[in-house]
Amino acid sequence: MGRRAKITVVGAGHVGEHVAMFCAIKELGDVVLIDIIEDMPQGKALDMYEATPLEGWDSKIVGTNDYKDTADSDVVVITAGLPRKPGMSRDELLDKNAGIIKSVTEQVVKYSPNCIIIMVTNPLDAMTQLAWAVSGFPKNRVLGQAGNLDSARFRAFVAMELGVSVKEICAMVLGGHGDDMVPLPRFTTVSGIPITELIPPDRIEAIVQRTRVGGGEIVKLLKTGSAYYAPALATTEMVEAILKDQKRIQPCAALCEGEYGINGVYCGVPCLLGANGVEKIIELKLTDDELKALQASAGRVKGLIDKLKEFGYIK
């Protein structure tokens, strides 16, 4: 019998704690929740573990402040970092979170040199690129969770529009995880029927726009934080695809080296996810407009990466 998979979640805020809980519910492996705040991850993990007898989930969950406890993890999910506050520029967030992500990645690599890293911290694509640069890992073992969440939002809005089950809907959203992401209606289907056959163009455009600002819509409603249920479950789905070697095609932030005319930049593209992480980037035949939008989105990510180089985080 092989050992159980080990999953570490770095950052025990709302997203991190829910990733830990969902991984335990799905019995994907044993979970370590780590945070710098003393005793907090221990308290949350103990509460979660005390819930396991009620539904009979056989996953151990422990909280810690010490990276030694994360040793030999198979998958490490990084959610640590600061959310953007009113009046704060993206560059300020970039600089602050870059420092956190750099030190987190160094600790992760020290104790789990063979793990696969899934980045969730914003600005997502740039932080994934930073983790890859700091880790020295091959590109297939460092990826970012964004497109999976954006596609889930797109699917939810299509279901609302048509009054059909969300189970029938497959969606594809590419590009950087920001307001310039690229939802693709042509590749979004309801039971195999493209939504372009089912929804008028003006309504599709409204749904695409709502998807782009989906995170902001929730921030505005909550007033004191950002989304966490859907981001956490989108991340858990990626963990599951990797640990169960499911060979699922999901949009992820992956390092493009020529695909879609994008070079040396992490950007949201369709990926085949399995035991080796990103096993393949799928190249869709895009229209000129779709390709331009995707390349423009990647260009904005490159701008953030150039800033990381200026700040000295990436050589």
Q: Give pLDDT, residue 97.
A: 95
- Tokens 């690599």 correspond to 109
- The residue length of the chain stands at 315
pLDDT 10s digits, 67-95: 999 999 999 999 999 876 655 555 678 98
Which of the two residues, 260 and 180, has the higher pLDDT score?
Answer: 260
Q: How far apart are CA 259 and CA 263, in angstroms?
A: 7
pLDDT 10s digits, 227-285: 999 999 999 999 999 999 999 999 999 999 999 999 999 999 999 999 999 999 999 99
Q: What percent of the chain has pLDDT over 70?
A: 97
Residue 23's identity, in one-letter code, is C
Domains of the chain: 6-144 (3.40.50.720), 147-311 (3.90.110.10)
Q: Which residues contact 310 (CB under 8 A, 6 or more apart)?
A: none
Backbone angles phi, psi at 268, to 5 degrees: -70, 115
Q: Give pLDDT, residue 286.
A: 97
Q: What percent of the chain has pLDDT over 90?
A: 89
Confidence of residue 225 (pLDDT cuts 50, 70, 90): confident
Q: Is 14 a catalytic residue?
A: no
CA dihedral 67, 69, 73, 78 (to 10 degrees): -40
If you write DSSP's letter for every residue of 129-140 in order, what string do you get? HHHHHHH---GG
The overall average pLDDT reported for the chain is 95
Burial (0-12, 13-18, 19+ Cβ within 10 Å), 285 = exposed
pLDDT 10s digits, 132-147: 999 999 999 999 998 9
Burial (0-12, 13-18, 19+ Cβ within 10 Å), 315 = exposed
Q: Give pLDDT, residue 241.
A: 98
Q: How far apart are CA 177 and CA 210, in angstroms?
A: 14
Task: Record the pTM.
Answer: 0.97
Q: Is the peptide bond between 201 and the residue preceding it cis, with omega within 30 degrees of 0?
A: no
| Among the ranges given (36-40, 158-162, 218-222, 273-277), the one the predictor scored with the smallest mean pLDDT | 218-222
Contact 241, 254 (CB under 8 A): no
Q: Which residues contact 22 (CB under 8 A, 6 or more apart)?
A: 232, 233, 236
Q: Give pLDDT, residue 82.
A: 86
Q: Give pLDDT, residue 1.
A: 59
Q: Give pLDDT, residue 85.
A: 62
Q: Give pLDDT, residue 216.
A: 87
- Tokens 């969950």 correspond to 61
Q: Which of 177, 212, 300, 307 is catalytic?
A: 177
Query: Residue 195 to residues 204, 273, 290: CA-CA distances in angstroms?
Result: 8, 25, 16
pLDDT 10s digits, 185-206: 999 999 999 999 999 999 999 9
pLDDT 10s digits, 25-58: 999 999 999 999 999 999 999 999 999 999 999 9
